[in-house]
Structure 1
C-alpha cells in the first residue's frame, strides 16, 4: 500500500494545476477557430494527466491533495471540452448531457457515503479506462478540424472512442452505485447489531 502524504507542492500537483490553467486557453482557441493550437493544448493536457499519475506512483508523490485535485481537474477538463466541442458543433448535445448526468449521479453518492461514515470511493480501473478513452476521443475529434485532409479517418476514430468511453463511463458508474449500496447496507446492519447489543 503506497503511503499518502500531506504535501502540497509536488510535481504531479503542479501538472494538475497547469492542466487546470489550460482549460480556458483551450476554450478560447476553440472559439476562435484556431483548431491547430487548440489541438496542441488538448494533447498537452491529456499527456500531463497520464504523466502526473506515473510520477506520483513511481516517485512516491501520492498526496491527499492530488487524490482530490487530479480527478477534479479531469472532470472539469472533460466537461469544459465537451461543452466547447458541442458549442462548435463537433459533438451533439445529447452526448454531453449523457456524460454529465453520470457524474451528477456520482456526486449525489458523496453525501450518502459521508452520512454513513465513508469517504469517496476509490477510482475503479474501468473508470480509468473510460476516462482514458474520452481523453483520447476529444483531441481526435479536433484533429479532423485542424487537418481536414485526414478528417475521413480521424472523425470515425474519434466517434468510436467517444461512444465507447461513454459506455464504459456509465458501466463504471453502475459499479460505483453497487458499491455505495453495499457499503450503506453494511453500515445499517452494523448499526442495527450495535443497537441490539446495547439493548441487551
Structure 2
C-alpha cells in the first residue's frame, strides 16, 4: 500500500513540477474563480487556507481576497519539526508567515491565535492527487488526515489542477475524503455517501 502511495506521490509531483510559473498562475486564478462560485465560500466567515509553496495551487492572492472580503483567515501550523499535531492558526496578514520545516510557511503559534476546528466554516485542502470519492494523496506526513478527523465532510474543499484528478487512489483506514474538489476546469461535488462512481460536476 505505502509503496503504491509513494509511486503516486512521485508521479504526480513530477507532473506538477513541470508546470511553468505562468501556467500555475493561470490555473490558480481559474481555481479561485470556481471557489468564488461556491455558496459555502460566499457564506463563510472563517476560512482555512494553506500557505502554498513550490508548484502548489497558489493561495496568497486568495488569502488577500478573503481579507478584503472581511473573512477571518486560518492557516495550518505546527510547533516543531517533530510534532505530529497540526494546529489551525489565525493570520492577519501574509507578512506574518515565515519559512518553517519542510519548506512550508506558517505564522508563529501562540495561545491567542489557535482556532478550534469547529469554529472554521470552510477548509481548503492541498494534495498531490484526488480521486472520484474525494480521497487524496498528500505528502505522506499525515498532518491533514489527523487534523481533519471530526471536521464535517461538506466543509472540506480540495484544491487541485485538473490533471491531479484520477479515478481511484489507494486508501487506508485513516484517510479522509473531501466534500468538494475545485480545479481550473470544474467544481466536483463528491456524493454524501462517499460512494461516487463518476465525477459529479457542479
* Fold similarity call, TM over 0.5: no
The TM tier, using the shorter chain, reads under 0.3
Q: Please say which structure displays the higher CA radius of gyration.
A: 1
- Between Structure 1 and Structure 2, the one with more strand by share is 2
Q: TM-score, normalised by structure 1?
A: 0.26
